[in-house]
Amino acid sequence: MPKKFIGKFLPKHEQVKSHKYMGMFGQLVHDPNLWHLNRKSARGAFGIGIFFAFWPVPFQMILSAALAIPLRVNLPLSIATVWISNPITMPPLFYTAYLVGSTVLGTELNEFQFELSWTWLLSSLTTIGPAFLLGCLICSTFFGLLGFFSLDWFWRFSVTQAWRTRWRTRKQKASSNED
């Protein structure tokens, strides 16, 4: 069942509520709907988390929480899904976003050497920035929607399979009891 599987990986309610940045949301985080895990809340949270995973900002989890709260989707899943982009996966995700943006804009790919400096960041905003940011927007929208609909499909498929298994088991028990 997806609920049990997903629930194993989610942080505990107290852990999320007690986080220092969650204080900015005040009493809103005490809404029980934010902690309930069902198909509707899971698919929305998954889509939101993936959407913000492609944003090149350091506060993706806060943005994800800020959207999950008014939409009343599962808050821990929304926050946890953002970690699809982590220090290991960010280079391929963001390079893919840059390729997508360059393709859509029809610009040539620029070779660049990453440097951790303000000078490099400011100069790259004019060279690779437009393609990169457009690619991030396209990828976040596409993969956010893909995640939303994929989790919805997976949840429905799992529930249908569980019902079929239960039905077969009951049918087998009934036929063995008749013998």
Q: What is the pLDDT of residues 91-134, one digit of tens each?
A: 889 889 999 999 999 888 877 776 767 777 777 777 888 888 99
The per-residue DSSP string of 74-115 comes to: -HHHHHHHGGGS-TTTHHHHHHHHHHHHHHHHTPPPPP----
Q: Is 63 exposed, middle or buried (0-12, 13-18, 19+ CB in 10 A)?
A: middle
For residues 101 and 139, what is the distance between their CA atoms, to the nearest angstrom?
9
Residue 58 has, within 13 A of its CA and on its CB side, a CA count of 0
User: pLDDT class for 8, splitting at 50, 70, 90?
Assistant: low
At 131, which amino acid appears?
A: A
Helix (H, G, I), strand (E, B) or coil at 127: helix
pLDDT tens column, 67-85:
998 998 988 889 889 999 9
pLDDT at 101: 94
pLDDT for 55 beyond 80: yes
pLDDT at 176: 79
Q: What angle do CA 116, 51, 12 make, to 5 degrees?
A: 95
